[in-house]
């Protein structure tokens, strides 16, 4: 199927399609006759260039139009051949009109919908905005919906992708291995987490992943996010790392280099530099170190009065750490213990009197900030090719103890004063990072103090969980309109171990149930559904944060309920399923 401008010579064909589509809802001839003049497309409409059609091998399958003058306009028509209803033609036309409106400078579209079509528009992101009298049938009221088309802020996306589709490389474990060989447990967890690399940009063309992933998972995400065809290379994991595995396959490496796509790794490594032919400067990853990050925080903080850097000091080993921690505990102080490197809370412990087994060291000790609300905040940015810093946004992270579990991004999530403070300081940190030669995605994590100031805690020179939320938001804002709130939940426990077919069936049911409530579900991590403690990762999007709360509760309950399928009627424990 392709979408193209309508032609003057096909107005009769289009008008016939419109009336057949209107009749699909069971209206009688008298009603259709009353609507005919209002729904007729004439040559002038087509000449204005705002009428488009969808066609395939069977001919024209749908028609849509845009009316009005920027900044506010109206979806004039959207009709689909009855034989093509339910095949995606309507969604494709709707998204095309939104894109056309955005390019022409529209910031809001009004939709006067047939009552039968209103659920379609609500499911694609439009919001109810009252009623209006019918222009054809006296006494009849039509539902009115609106869709906002916010003006894009900043050029972070072009700086990140170069304005191109991208190949995404999920080299999570390879990135972490630069600071020591990860344990088998950490490697396994990293290979699951690498699925988030599918969302390394809003519009992937190629995915390179360490574990085999269900093709139906990719297809489901393509449907939810209107991706074009995505090519998947998976199951490439080996002890040397994901990009090293690509380099060991010369044909694949050459294909990626010559594809014309932006090559986006989860994190930059020496191996990735060999793939792209661009050396990684020796100091580029300096601020991935928590010690070096603290030094730059201390240096920049005096120019930012709403920033309070927590005290940090090194100790040579875990015995020295234990002595310091006990001494502070006697004075009523808890302590954060950190290794110099670590992601997602790994290598970080909150020690408040409970027994904790620490690594040998050396270690960093840090004072605990008395937390305010929201507690954990992160700023994300992109350092462009010339070293310029582009602000992406500020998010709230879900952190339990010191373990990262997900993030929420979007309007109203972070109070404006906190967001402004985080952005100013994060932008300044980005300038320091760019001076090392680093280029790409980065973030700065904060804890909100009880006095309302922000305490910066670490820098990440790579993609992270919040980055996936920002990418999904950017895509949904584009294809659905509006200003979405997006939440990622990295581990939703499952009530049973699910093979791929059963997992995909569950995800499809959840996508439908969420859509009925005006929420978009994007499954992010499918590969852990057959672990001994099975789980899945999801992202949820809506136009208001309370919609996310309800959708998350629905997903969590339904995920746990799958265990009932394997429970015997007497309530005794179900036998463990055999492995695949």
Note whether 126 and 223 are same-domain residues: no
With bands split at pLDDT 50, 70 and 90, how would you rate the model's confidence at 345?
Answer: low
Instruction: Find out whether the peptide bond into 165 is cis, omega within 30 degrees of 0.
Output: no
What confidence category does residue 154 fall into, taking pLDDT thresholds of 50, 70 and 90?
A: low
Q: How far apart are CA 171 and CA 96, in angstroms?
A: 34
Within 8 A by CB and 6+ apart from 455, the residues are 307, 308, 309, 310, 369, 446, 447, 448, 449
Residues 73, 14 share a domain: yes
Q: Could you tell me if residue 537 is inside a domain?
A: no
Q: Is residue 355 part of a domain?
A: no
According to DSSP, the β-strands at 166-169 and 262-265 are parallel
pLDDT tens-digit readout, 92-116 = 999 999 989 988 989 999 999 999 9
Look at residues 283, 314, 339 and tell me which one is the last residue of a structural domain.
Answer: 283
pLDDT at 186: 84
Last residue of one domain, picked from the residues 259, 283, 307: 283
> SS3 helix, strand, coil % of the chain, rounded to 5?
40, 25, 35
Q: What is the mean pLDDT of residues 300-307?
A: 97
What pLDDT is recorded for position 575?
A: 40
Indicate whether 227 belongs to any domain.
Answer: yes
Q: In the predicted model, is pLDDT for residue 46 greater than 80?
A: yes
pLDDT band for position 342 (50/70/90)?
confident
Q: In this structure, are residues 488 and 537 in contact, taking their beta carbons and an 8 Å threshold?
A: yes
Would you say residue 235 has pLDDT above 60?
A: yes
- Looking at the structure of the chain, the number of domains it has is 2
CB distance 511 to 221 below 8 Å: no
**Residues 49, 124 share a domain:** yes
The whole-number average pLDDT for the span 191-197 is 95
9 & 102 share domain: yes
- Rounded to 5 degrees, φ, ψ at 380 are -115, 140
Question: Per the domain annotation, does 360 fall within a domain?
Answer: no
Quick one: 166 and 57 in the same domain?
A: no
CB 163 within 8 A of CB 155: no
Same domain, yes or no: 83 and 127: yes
Of 142-146, 349-353, 417-421, minimum mean pLDDT range: 349-353
Range of the domain at 8: 2-148
Domain match, 20 and 144 both:
yes
Its pTM stands at 0.88
Are 263 and 166 in the same domain? Answer: yes
Distance between CA atoms of residues 498 and 398, nearest Å:
26
What pLDDT, in 10s, does the model give residues 512-562? 999 988 899 999 999 999 999 999 999 999 988 988 999 999 999 999 998
How far is residue 226's CA from residue 306's CA, in Å, rounded to a whole number? 41
pLDDT attached to residue 573: 45
For 395-453, where are the alpha helices, taking DSSP H only?
Answer: 416-434
Per-residue DSSP letters for 479-527? Answer: HH-S--EEEEEEEEE-SS---HHHHHHHHHHHHHHHHHTT-EEEEEE-T
In a domain, 204, yes or no: yes
CATH number at residue 19: 3.40.630.30
**Structure tokens of 426?**
């994060």
**pLDDT value of residue 298:** 98
pLDDT of residue 398: 94
pLDDT reading at 153 higher than 70: no
Give the per-residue pLDDT at 530: 94
Residue 546: CB atoms within 10 A of its CB come to: 9
Q: How far apart are the first and last CA of the chain?
A: 38
Of 225, 242, 223, nearest to 233 (Cα)? 242
Q: What is the mean pLDDT of residues 22-44?
A: 93
| Winning range, highest mean pLDDT, from 340-344, 347-351, 465-469 | 465-469
Tens digits of residue pLDDT in 245-293? 999 999 999 999 999 999 999 999 999 999 999 989 999 999 999 999 9
Name the more confident of 546 and 168. Answer: 168
* CA distances, 489 to each of 196, 210, 286, 304, 541 (Å): 11, 21, 29, 32, 11
Distances in Å between the Cα of 11 and the Cα atoms of 39, 60, 63, 106 are: 12, 12, 11, 26
Average pLDDT, the chain: 91
Q: For residue 129, tell me if it sits in a domain.
A: yes
**89 and 162 share a domain?**
no
Per-residue pLDDT, averaged over 125-142, amounts to: 91
Do 101 and 174 sit in the same domain of this protein?
no
Q: What is the mean pLDDT of residues 1-30?
A: 94
Q: Write the Ramachandran bin of 132: left for phi over 0, alpha for psi from -120 to 50, otherwise beta.
A: beta
Ramachandran region, residue 68 (left: φ > 0; alpha: ψ -120 to 50; beta: rest) = left
Same domain, 142 and 158: no
User: What pLDDT band is residue 565 in, cutting at 50, 70 and 90?
Assistant: low
- Do 55 and 112 fall within a single domain? yes
Going from the C-alpha of 162 to that of each of 281, 332, 431, the distances in angstroms are 21, 52, 20
| CA–CA dist 463, 443 (Å, integer) | 8
User: Is 226 among the domain residues?
Assistant: yes
Domain-terminating residue out of 113, 131, 148: 148
Instruction: Give the pLDDT band of residue 378 (cuts 50, 70, 90).
Output: very high
Report the interhelical angle of 215-225 vs 465-480 (nearest 10°): 50
Angle CA(556)–CA(183)–CA(457) in degrees, nearest 5?
Answer: 70
3-state secondary structure of 63: strand
pLDDT of residue 152: 61
Q: What is the pLDDT of residue 308?
A: 96
- Closest C-alpha to 107, from 481, 474, 480, 392: 481
Range 332-355 burial, b when 16+ CB lie within 10 A, else e: eeebbbbbbbbbbebbbbebeeee
Residue 484, in any domain of the structure: no
Among the residue ranges 233-237, 310-314, 524-528, the one predicted with the least confidence is 233-237
């Amino acid at each position: 199927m392709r979408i193209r401008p309508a032609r003057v010579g096909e107005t009769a064909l289009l008008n016939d399609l419109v009336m057949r589509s209107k009749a699909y809802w069971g209206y009688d001839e008298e009603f259709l006759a009353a609507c005919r003049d209002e729904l007729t497309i004439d040559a002038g409409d087509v000449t204005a260039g705002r009428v488009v059609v969808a066609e395939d091998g069977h001919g024209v399958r749908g028609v849509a139009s845009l009316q009005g003058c920027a900044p506010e306009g109206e979806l004039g028509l959207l009709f689909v051949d009855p034989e093509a209803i339910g095949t995606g033609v309507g969604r494709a036309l709707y998204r095309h009109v939104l894109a056309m409106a955005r390019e022409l400078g529209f910031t809001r579209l009004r939709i006067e919908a047939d009552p039968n079509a209103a659920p379609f528009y609500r499911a694609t992101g439009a919001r109810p905005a009252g009623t209006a009298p019918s222009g054809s049938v006296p006494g009849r009221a039509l539902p009115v919906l609106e869709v906002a088309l916010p003006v894009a802020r900043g050029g972070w996306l072009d700086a990140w992708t170069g304005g191109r589709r991208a190949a995404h490389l999920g080299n999570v474990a390879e990135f972490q291995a630069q600071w020591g060989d990860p344990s088998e447990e950490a490697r396994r967890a990293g290979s699951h987490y690498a699925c988030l690399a599918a969302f390394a940009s809003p519009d992937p063309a190629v995915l390179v992943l360490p574990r085999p992933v269900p093709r139906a998972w990719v297809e489901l995400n393509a449907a939810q996010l209107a991706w074009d065809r995505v090519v998947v290379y998976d199951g490439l994991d080996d002890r040397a790392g994901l990009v090293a595995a690509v380099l060991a396959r010369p044909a694949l490496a050459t294909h990626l280099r010559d594809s014309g796509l932006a090559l986006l790794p989860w994190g930059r490594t020496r191996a990735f530099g060999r793939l792209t032919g661009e050396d990684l400067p020796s100091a580029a990853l300096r601020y991935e170190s928590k010690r070096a990050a603290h030094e730059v925080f201390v240096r920049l903080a005096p120019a930012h009065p709403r920033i309070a850097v927590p005290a940090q000091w090194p100790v040579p080993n875990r015995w020295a750490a234990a002595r310091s921690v006990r001494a502070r505990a006697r004075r009523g102080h808890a302590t954060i213990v950190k290794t110099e490197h670590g992601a997602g809370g790994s290598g970080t412990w909150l020690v408040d009197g409970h027994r904790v087994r620490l690594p040998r060291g050396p270690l960093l000790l840090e004072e605990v900030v008395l937390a305010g609300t929201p507690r954990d905040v992160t700023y994300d940015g992109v350092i462009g090719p010339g070293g310029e810093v582009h602000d992406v946004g500020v998010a709230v992270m879900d952190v339990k103890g010191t373990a990262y579990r997900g993030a929420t991004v979007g309007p109203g999530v972070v109070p404006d004063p906190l967001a402004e403070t985080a952005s100013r300081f994060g932008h300044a940190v980005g300038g320091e990072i760019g001076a090392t030669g680093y280029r790409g995605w980065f973030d700065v994590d904060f804890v909100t103090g009880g006095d309302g100031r922000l305490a910066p805690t670490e820098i990440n020179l790579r993609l992270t969980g919040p980055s996936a939320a920002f990418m999904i938001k950017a895509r949904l804002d584009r294809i659905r309109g509006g200003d979405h709130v997006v939440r990622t939940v990295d581990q939703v426990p499952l009530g049973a171990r699910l093979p791929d077919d059963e997992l995909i069936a569950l995800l499809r049911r959840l996508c439908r149930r969420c859509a009925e409530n005006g929420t978009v579900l994007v499954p992010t991590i499918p590969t852990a559904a057959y672990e001994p403690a099975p789980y899945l990762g999801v992202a949820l999007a809506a136009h208001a944060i309370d919609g996310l709360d309800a959708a998350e509760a629905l997903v969590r309950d339904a995920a746990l309920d799958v265990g009932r399928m394997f429970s015997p009627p007497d309530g005794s424990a179900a036998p463990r399923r055999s492995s695949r």
